[in-house]
Amino acid sequence: MKIGIIGGTGGMGKGFALRWCVNHDVLIGSRDAARAEEAAREYSSSADKELGTVKGKIVGVDNTAAAKESDVLVLSIPYENIDAICSQLLPNVKDSCIVISPIVPLTKTDAGFELISFREGKPSAFELVQKYMRNKSNLVSAFHTISEKKLIDTKLVLDSDIFVCGDSENSINAVNGLIKEIKNLRPILLGPGSLSYLAESATPILINAMIKNKMKNPGIKII
Ligand SMILES: NC(=O)c1ccc[n+]([C@@H]2O[C@H](COP(=O)([O-])OP(=O)(O)OC[C@H]3O[C@@H](n4cnc5c(N)ncnc54)[C@H](OP(=O)(O)O)[C@@H]3O)[C@@H](O)[C@H]2O)c1
């Protein structure tokens, strides 16, 4: 399977690449192909040093190529850029391509971190992305509550739950499979995409708890 990461040069992109290159080819996407190639070289070198056996290759390309060639596409970009990026890229994805949104509409206010959707009455990241999907049921939201620091640290036992929202059982199952490939991550289905705002709102809760209580990259585990 070929997994493309739009905005793959960011922290989350690195974490996804290191975790999934064990079994899959990974395309690091960027607005700038040279930046993507540089990131891909760096991630490949980390993977070789840290992971031992790696079946997939990590390659850097521009975002458009990543969108066209991927079987699974992760939108690892800020909420503010969804309109610009998705309007340009999502018309080009394969009909069968599953799109994952880890995007959190996060803003910093005087009170702390808050959800833009609540604060400004704007759509959830899932709703905003879905507007641009040709096959709307191929969109799944996940990975809002795992910190990039933890994802990148391949020696760390993650022991966390990942909330999953989507409108198609097949798409959800495919994403659940990718979550389970990351050791000790467990997918937890919350419901359809219309409930994704609940999963997205868990991130500011975690960040505020982390800052106020001096915790280190907290995650969520349902017991
Ligand atoms: N960081 C975390 O721990 C964490 C945890 C859970 C969920 N998330 C969510 O996951 C997503 C990615 O997080 P991140 O921390 O990796 O994000 P990030 O570092 O802020 O950005 C990721 C990439 O997006 C691209 N980008 C930046 N500004 C852009 C713009 N104006 N237009 C188009 N592309 C732009 C950049 O790639 P190029 O410049 O190479 O194009 C950048 O490397 C975010 O939506 C975040 O809310 C993050």
Ligand 1 pocket, Cβ-based, cut-off 6 angstroms: 7, 9-13, 30-32, 35, 76-79, 81, 84-85, 102-104, 106, 143-144, 147-148, 203
Give domain status of residue 55, yes or no.
yes
Please name the residue whose Cα sits nearest to atom 23 of ligand 1.
7
Atom of ligand 1 nearest to the CA of 35: 40
Q: Is the pLDDT confidence value at 52 over 90?
A: no
Sign of the CA dihedral with 150 first, then 152, 154, and 160 last: positive
**How far away, in angstroms, is 181 Cα from ligand 1 center?**
23
Sign of the CA dihedral with 124 first, then 129, 132, and 134 last: negative
Tokens of 54: 């790696």
Q: pLDDT tier at 53 (50, 70, 90 boundaries)?
A: confident
- Report the alpha-carbon distance of residue 203 to residue 208 in Å, rounded: 9
pLDDT tens column, 109-138: 999 999 999 999 999 999 999 999 999 999
Please name the residue whose Cα sits nearest to atom 7 of ligand 1.
144
- Indicate which CATH number applies to the domain containing 178: 3.40.50.720
Give domain status of residue 139, yes or no.
yes
pLDDT tens column, 63-95: 999 999 999 999 999 999 999 999 999 999 999
Give domain status of residue 218, yes or no.
no
Give domain status of residue 220, yes or no.
no
Give the type of residue at 155: K
Give domain status of residue 53, yes or no.
yes
What pLDDT score does 147 carry? 96
pLDDT tens column, 5-45: 999 999 999 999 999 999 999 999 999 999 999 999 999 99
Model pTM above 0.95: yes
Atom of ligand 1 nearest to the CA of 203: 6
Give domain status of residue 221, yes or no.
no
**How much is the CA Rg of the chain, to the nearest whole Å?**
16
Give how many domains the chain has, as a whole number.
Answer: 1
Provide the domain limits for residue 24.
2-212
pLDDT tens column, 57-69: 999 999 999 999 9
**How far away, in angstroms, is 109 Cα from ligand 1 center?**
19
Tell me whether strands 113-115 and 106-108 are parallel, antiparallel or unpaired.
antiparallel
Q: b/e map of 3-24 (b: 16 or more CB within 10 Å)? A: bbbbbbbbebbbbbbbbbbbeb
pLDDT tens column, 133-166: 999 999 999 999 999 999 999 999 899 999 999 9
Give domain status of residue 219, yes or no.
no
Which residues, in sequence order, are bridge partners of residue 2?
25
44: CB partners within 8 A, 6+ apart: 21, 57, 58
What pLDDT score does 157 carry? 86
